[in-house]
Structure 1
Amino acid sequence: MKSRDLAAAIVFAGLYAAGVIALPGISFEIIQVRVSDALLPLAIVFGMPAVVGITVGTFIANLFSPFGPVDLLGGTLTNLVATYVGWKMARNFVFRGSWMFVAVFQTLLVTFIVGSYLYVLIGVPPTPVAGVVVPGIVFSWLGVLGGSVISILVIGYPLAKAVSRYLVAEARYVR
């Protein structure tokens, strides 16, 4: 890894970890808005430095998680897959809207993996809604989905587009 790429990875790691550690109340619960996940779509633009940095940042941030080794490993691996596969998808699927497709993929991946293990760790009970008993895992997924939509789709996707257009002279990993 070139020194410029290493420096970028370190910046991504620091930004991700700082964002989670600074906002623990909204980063570690069943209903969460992990603002640092807005960095995930930046893997489309920055490639491997973002993948490595966000993965390391997730590991560092999850050292502070109340959910212990499950969140430490589960969250780290989830973000590794979300950033790496997202970067590769963006390189291979070049069509109008492909970046949004990648951001939606990242959102759904985080939702289902993190929502599933948080359901097991927290034990969300089934809840009756309009006469129908909704399984607890659905509430767990919805809690993570809401926050992931905010961080990845509402903040991260436009951030990636803006960085690509205005701050990166040449998006060297995509197109």
Structure 2
Amino acid sequence: MRFNVRKIVFGGLIGAVYAALTMVLAPISYGEIQFRIAEVLTILPFFSGFSVLGLFIGCIVSNILSPIGPLDMIFGSLATLIAAIMTYYIGKSNFKLRRFLAPLPAVVVNAVIIGLLISYTANIPFIIPAIQVGFGELVVCYVLGLPLIMLIERNEKLKNYLK
């Protein structure tokens, strides 16, 4: 088995940045209404598979501070993993408008899984946290993530680094 050290280090860096952004911006990163700025990084699997594990580990670490506790460490991190894998496969597809679909898995998966988690722990109807979390994800992933995709696509050095 051959490991690419550069990819492992870069995946670790992605995880560290994800965790740091989430923890530094904790007031807006957790809760029913959240704008987790670190979720902008969920577009990176569109370009490279090695970012998937980094995002997953970064989410586990960042959810240590979650007011929901261990449930968020488990299910929130699984939501990020599922969305990252879906984004990776969108990036590998031949669909013409795939860049516009790339941010969508994070929005939908987090709205459903985190919506269910908040609904369960706060004992409120699912639709309320699902809409709130989905809206926050939509803003972060499309307002910040889509321009990031376009920036990476136009920059050969960044694109090559992410391969």
TM-score clears 0.5: yes
- Partners of 2:140 and 2:127 in 1: CA distance: 20
In percent, how many aligned pairs have the same letter? Answer: 22
Task: Flag the structure with larger Rg.
Answer: 1
> RMSD value over aligned CA atoms?
1.6
Gap change, CA 1:7 and 1:141, over 3 Å in 2: same
SS where residue 95 of structure 1 aligns? coil
> What 5-or-longer segments of structure 1 have no aligned partner?
125-135
Counterpart position of 1:165 = 154
- Partners of 1:169 and 1:112 in 2: CA distance: 31
Is the 1:107–1:153 Cα contact (8 Å) retained in structure 2?
no
Counterpart position of 1:131 = none
Is the 2:60–2:74 Cα contact (8 Å) retained in structure 1?
yes
Letter in 1 for 2:158: V
1:139 aligns with 2:104: no
Gap change, CA 1:122 and 1:157, over 3 Å in 2: same
TM-score of the superposed pair, with normalisation by structure 2:
0.91
Letter in 2 for 1:32: Q
User: What does 1:59-98 align with in structure 2 at a 5 Å threshold?
Assistant: 59-91=60-92, 93-98=93-98
1:113 aligns with 2:76: no
Give per-residue Cα distances to partners, 1:83-111, cap 9 Å, x unaligned.
112102220x2222112113223211111
> What 5-or-longer segments of structure 2 have no aligned partner?
none
- Partners of 1:12 and 1:171 in 2: CA distance: 13
Give per-residue Cα distances to partners, 1:8-41, cap 9 Å, x unaligned.
1111011100011001111111011111001001
Is the 1:65–1:71 Cα contact (8 Å) retained in structure 2?
yes
Give per-residue Cα distances to partners, 1:109-132, cap 9 Å, x unaligned.
1111111111111122xxxxxxxx
